[in-house]
Amino acid sequence: MARLRAGVCAAVPAFVSLLALAHAQNPASTGFSVVEGLGLPAVDAGALRGEPHGVATRRTTRQAALSTAMTAVARVGPSGAPYAPGRVLVKFRGGASGAVSTQSLRTASVSAALSTRPDYADFDIVTIDPAEDAQQVAAALRERPDVEWAQPAYYMHTDFVPNDPFYKELQWNLPLRDIQPSAGSSITVAVIDTGLAYTNAMITTDILGFRDRLGTYPPIPNAVIPYAAATQLVTPGRVVAPHDFVNNTNTPFDFDGHGTHVSGTLGQLTNDGIGAAGVAFNVKLMPLKAICAEWDVLFGSAIARCSTDDNVAQAIRYAADNGARIINMSIGRDSPATCATNRNQPDCAPAIEDAMNYAVGKGVFIAVAAGNEFTTGNPTQTPAEIASRIKGAVSVAAVGLFKEHAPYSSSGSWVELAAPGGIGGSQDSGYVWQQTFDFHLTDTFDLPPAQYTAPRFDVLRHVGYAGTSQATPHVAGVAAMLMQQGLTSPAAIEDALEKFAVDLGSAGRDDLFGYGLIDARNALFGRGLAK
């Protein structure tokens, strides 16, 4: 969710120009063409051992800039949550049809042009004039007796602290990787994120031009971009029911690397003598793209459709309806602390709340990042706060190598568990290491204009990240192992994780660590489950 403000403000305007210009040039989604199976296999170039260009500052700036750029083309709610123009999400009482809803709206002083019910949703998307304030329209709709809730399409973000990458074979965060050889082999885990490096392909697209502090970057027409599956994640039959909710396709390409890295912590191949390990390394993966990267925008995805609450809500329901037993969401945004008592107020997320309740009701366990906002005012985070109110969903804070509270990790009454997320810094063990893209070759928009080229997504490395994004898949992975051993109730899984957690900080549950640090061995054997 990476609204990471500290130390990046001076550089943000350059990237705002990049993304705002891309939006201005391309207000509607154009997409790209893909030929799957044509690309060459990935090259695994080993570990990144140094970054002369200051990757920590650069990647922090990029992620914060995406949020800021969205703000530039939209408006911001009272809790600081930006929302997309031209759309309002509405749930009508009694399951009113789209046609009835549209007719009703035409009498409500709302300039609604279209009301549609998207797939995997129990709400309608109402199209309004982009010049109108979606927050004000939602407030007017909430006054109607036939409306259960209405909200703007708020933007979500991934939740990681970038790195200065060095590699070490010791994965301090996985001391018990020999617990369970089956490691979730019958369980499908949905990862709602930026996508996954899941297939070999050649992608052809027009890349939009932009201007930033280094100069003018020209458009690149008919760019041919190689793309390859992560060699340490993807095996035949492992990826099931993939979907992209940003572009409405079944090809959730990861153009950022975050979703691939998170998926690696959850389930990177293990005991193969190569690279790093994953927690539940035999799970099936369901990559669901709901979050945009910069390249998504420059490739033509409409920024108003990037990373919004409706994408996330649809992805949650899709996962529940297509066989997922676990959902990992290393994403979030700011929200009011009072959504628990009044979810029909600005910046709350009723669409996501309903979807999470739906999924848990179908037997799906959900792990959500608690947020990385401790040093930036520590605002309440959603959907983490929602998870804390649903038995069978948990919010996850981050700890470092010595089980200390990670300084960025959000705290509050919504924190339920802690897991290894890393702290960063100069030591190799300050990060969680997994296979993802070589950002030297993907982040070409950080080069001077004279060196700018189309990106490549066919070279992979082991890269260290830190954040509650990295903590959350540890919990999802342990939950998969519990399910594999027969503990199928989401509520029972939450109870086991909390009961057998290692208490840290103040005695009992506290705002920094929740019930404590997850302990996979204690959770499995404490429940009397077989190895």
Q: Which amino acid is at 264?
A: G
Please tell me the distance from the alpha carbon of residue 56 to that of residue 60, in angstroms, as a whole number.
6
Quick one: average pLDDT of 488-501? 95
The region of weakest confidence among 46-50, 130-134, 152-156, 521-525 is 46-50
306, 70 Cβ separation under 8 angstroms: yes
User: Which residues make beta-bridge pairs with 217?
Assistant: 210
What average pLDDT does the chain have? 77
Q: What are phi and psi of 418, to 5 degrees?
A: -125, 155
Sign of CA dihedral 470, 162, 450, 438: negative
Name residues whose C-beta falls within 8 Å of residue 515's C-beta, 6 or more positions apart in sequence: 416, 417, 497, 498, 499, 501, 503, 509
Q: What's the pLDDT score for residue 72? A: 47
The region of weakest confidence among 16-30, 47-61, 312-326 is 47-61
Is a pLDDT exceeding 50 seen at residue 261? yes
> Which single residue is written with the structure tokens 């090809």?
251
Is a pLDDT exceeding 80 seen at residue 88? yes
Over the stretch 272-298, which tens digit does the pLDDT of each residue have? 444 455 778 789 999 999 998 888 888
Quick one: average pLDDT of 309-317? 96
Please tell me the distance from the alpha carbon of residue 92 to that of residue 97, in angstroms, as a whole number.
8
Q: DSSP for 313-331, please give it.
A: HHHHHHHHHTT-SEEEE-E
Q: What's the pLDDT score for residue 280? A: 80
Domains of the chain: 9-74+157-526 (3.40.50.200), 82-154 (3.30.70.1510)
Is a pLDDT exceeding 60 seen at residue 303? yes
Residue 464: closest CA among 407, 418, 425, 419:
425
pTM of this structure = 0.81
501, 295 Cβ separation under 8 angstroms: no
